[in-house]
């Protein structure tokens, strides 16, 4: 797989992934942060450029020194073509299958690909699912770039704002630590449904 190193390539990849939301969300968000300075020293790999089918985000090899640290040994994958994804991941050393690792994706369709790859390598896979919550404001921001509902795979739908919570982002100073310690013990605000 090709390692995208230039800022222009990463910006172009971010723009392309934005058009594939919500399936590309996990990889899109990581590329977005890489374009903001790459604080976690990740690398982006594609099967081909510029007309890529599969994107893999992974740490630099020198960061993956502990074979049992599945938090550091984390990969994010997005693919437009599942067959291509299987081929790209099985014919390259992109994933170090000898380590404890995490593979993260916003694509349920990749489950079968990962399971098949693990089976061929005699590796046990533990699958978990998570729910992503976003603010109504972020959902509204993302809606213009999301595909039409008729083009989404079965089981997907355009996101709806489900709840509103009264919160504001504020900066904290170390002198606020006592108040913050007390706050986290207080009852959480109630969610107000937006949909009847």
Low-confidence winner among 45-54, 120-129, 186-195 (lowest mean pLDDT): 186-195
Task: Locate 152 and state its tokens.
Answer: 């989404």
pTM: 0.68
Q: What is the mean pLDDT of residues 104-112?
A: 87
Q: What pLDDT was estimated at residue 182?
A: 54
Low-confidence winner among 74-78, 87-91, 175-179 (lowest mean pLDDT): 175-179
List of residues 6+ apart from 176 with CB closer than 8 A: none
pLDDT digits (tens, 9 = 90+) for 150-162: 445 555 555 554 4
Q: What pLDDT was estimated at residue 56?
A: 95
8-40 per-residue burial string, b: 16 or more CB within 10 A, e: under 16 = ebbeebbebbbebbbbbbbbbbbbeebeeeeee
Low-confidence winner among 16-20, 57-61, 69-73, 74-78 (lowest mean pLDDT): 69-73
Low-confidence winner among 84-88, 114-118, 138-142 (lowest mean pLDDT): 138-142
- Work out the angle at residue 12's Cα, subtended by the Cα atoms of residues 9 and 16, and round it to the nearest 5 degrees: 135
Task: Locate 160 and state its tokens.
Answer: 């709806």
Name the percent of the chain lying above pLDDT 90: 31
Q: What pLDDT was estimated at residue 178?
A: 58
């Amino acid at each position: 797989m090709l390692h995208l190193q230039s800022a222009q390539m990463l910006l172009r990849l971010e723009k392309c992934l934005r058009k594939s939301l919500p399936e590309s969300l996990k990889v899109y968000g990581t590329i977005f942060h890489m374009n903001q300075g790459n604080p976690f020293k990740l690398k982006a790999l594609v099967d081909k450029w510029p007309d890529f089918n599969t994107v893999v985000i992974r740490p630099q090899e020198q960061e993956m020194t502990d074979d049992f640290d599945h938090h550091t040994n984390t990969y994010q994958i997005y693919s437009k073509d599942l067959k291509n994804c299987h081929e790209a991941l099985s014919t390259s050393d992109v994933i170090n299958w000898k380590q404890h690792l995490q593979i993260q994706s916003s694509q349920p369709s990749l489950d079968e690909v990962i399971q098949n790859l693990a089976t061929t390598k005699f590796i046990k896979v533990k699958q978990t699912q998570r729910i992503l919550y976003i603010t109504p404001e972020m959902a509204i921001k993302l809606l213009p770039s999301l595909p039409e509902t008729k083009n989404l795979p079965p089981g997907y739908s355009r996101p709806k704002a489900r709840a509103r919570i009264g919160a504001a982002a504020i900066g904290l100073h170390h002198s606020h630590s006592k108040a913050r310690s007390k706050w986290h013990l207080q009852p959480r605000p109630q969610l107000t449904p937006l949909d009847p």
